[in-house]
Chain A
Amino acid sequence: ETGVTQSPTHLIKTRGQQVTLRCSSQSGHNTVSWYQQALGQGPQFIFQYYREEENGRGNFPPRFSGLQFPNYSSELNVNALELDDSALYLCASSLKQGGYEQYFGPGTRLTVT
C-alpha cells in the first residue's frame, strides 16, 4: 500500500510570487484535504477535494485554490504569496465512504522571503 506523497519537499519563494504544491493520495483513497501548519502550531484546515470538486473550505482567502485530478491526486496553488504564508503544507488523504481517518503526507516546507 502506497502512502501519501508530496512534492516538493522544500520551496523558497519571494513575496508576490505564485506556488504550486502537489500531493498523491494513499492507494484506494478518493478524498484529499490540505492543511497549513505554522511553526509551533497545530495544522489549520485549508480545504478538501472529493470527486474533483471542493468539498469544504476553512478560513483562507481565495488566493488559496486547488485541484483534484481523476487519479485523486491534488494540487494546492497559492497566488500573491505573503510572508505569513511561510509554513509546512500538509496533504491528507481519506476514503470518503470508509470513515473519518485522515492520513498525512510528509509535507512541503514553504519559505516566503
Chain B
Amino acid sequence: QQQVKQSPQSLIVQKGGISIINCAYENTAFDYFPWYQQFPGKGPALLIAIRPDVSEKKEGRFTISFNKSAKQFSLHIMDSQPGDSATYFCAASNGKAAGNKLTFGGGTRVLVKP
C-alpha cells in the first residue's frame, strides 16, 4: 500500500518559472516530511524538510507548504533554473516507530527549459 502519493509524475517549466510538486499521505503518525533531489546516477540529496507544527518553511528558492488537516504537503521551486532539472521525491517518517524509516513518494521528474 502506497502511503505517500506524489504528483505530477513529470513537469516542464521555463527558466525563471515556478515548479510545484504535491504529496499526500495517509498515516497520521508521520511527523517528519523531507524532500530529496536526485540527479541521474546519484543518491538522493536532502533538500528541505518540515515538521507538522509549522505550515510553511522556506530555504532559498525552495519552500515547503504543509496542510495537516488535509494530510498534504508541497514543494515550490521559485525562479527555476536549468540546474534544478532532476527527480524530486517527497517522503515521510514516524520518529517514534522502530527504524524511523522514510516512506517515499513515486518521484517527479522536473525539466527546466532555458
Q: Is A73 an interface residue (CB 8 A)?
A: no
The answer, among B6, B41, B103, for a CB contact under 8 Å with A45, is B103
Q: Does A66 contact B (CB under 8 A)?
A: no
What count of chain B residues pass the 8 Å CB interface test?
A: 26
Q: Which residue of B lies closest to A9 (CB)?
A: B41
Q: How far apart sit A45 and B3, CA to CA, in the bound complex (Å)?
A: 13
Q: Is A104 an interface residue (CB 8 A)?
A: yes
Residues of A within 8 Å of B105, CB to CB, are 42
For the side of the interface on A, what is the size category? Answer: 20 to 34
**B residues near A16, Cβ cutoff 8 Å:** none
* Contact B106–A48 (Cβ < 8 Å): no
State the Cβ distance, A38 to closest chain B Cβ, in Å.
11
Residue among A47, A100, A101, A105 making CB contact with B43, cutoff 8 Å = A105
Q: Which of A35, A43, A44, A101 has the most B CB atoms < 10 Å from its CB?
A: A43
A6-54 CB contacts (< 8 Å) to partner B: 33, 35, 40-45, 47-48
Pairwise interchain contact A100-B95, C-beta atoms closer than 8 A: yes
Contact B34 A101 (CB under 8 A): yes
Contacting residue for B99 out of A4, A41, A48, CB 8 A? A48
Mask, B23-56, CB within 8 Å of A = 1, is 0000000001010100001111110010000000
Q: Decide: B101 and A45 in contact? CB cutoff 8 A.
A: yes
Partner of B98, one of A40, A44, A56, A90: A56
By a beta-carbon cutoff of 8 Å, the part of chain A in contact with chain B is: 4, 33, 35, 40-45, 47-48, 55-58, 90, 92, 94, 100-107
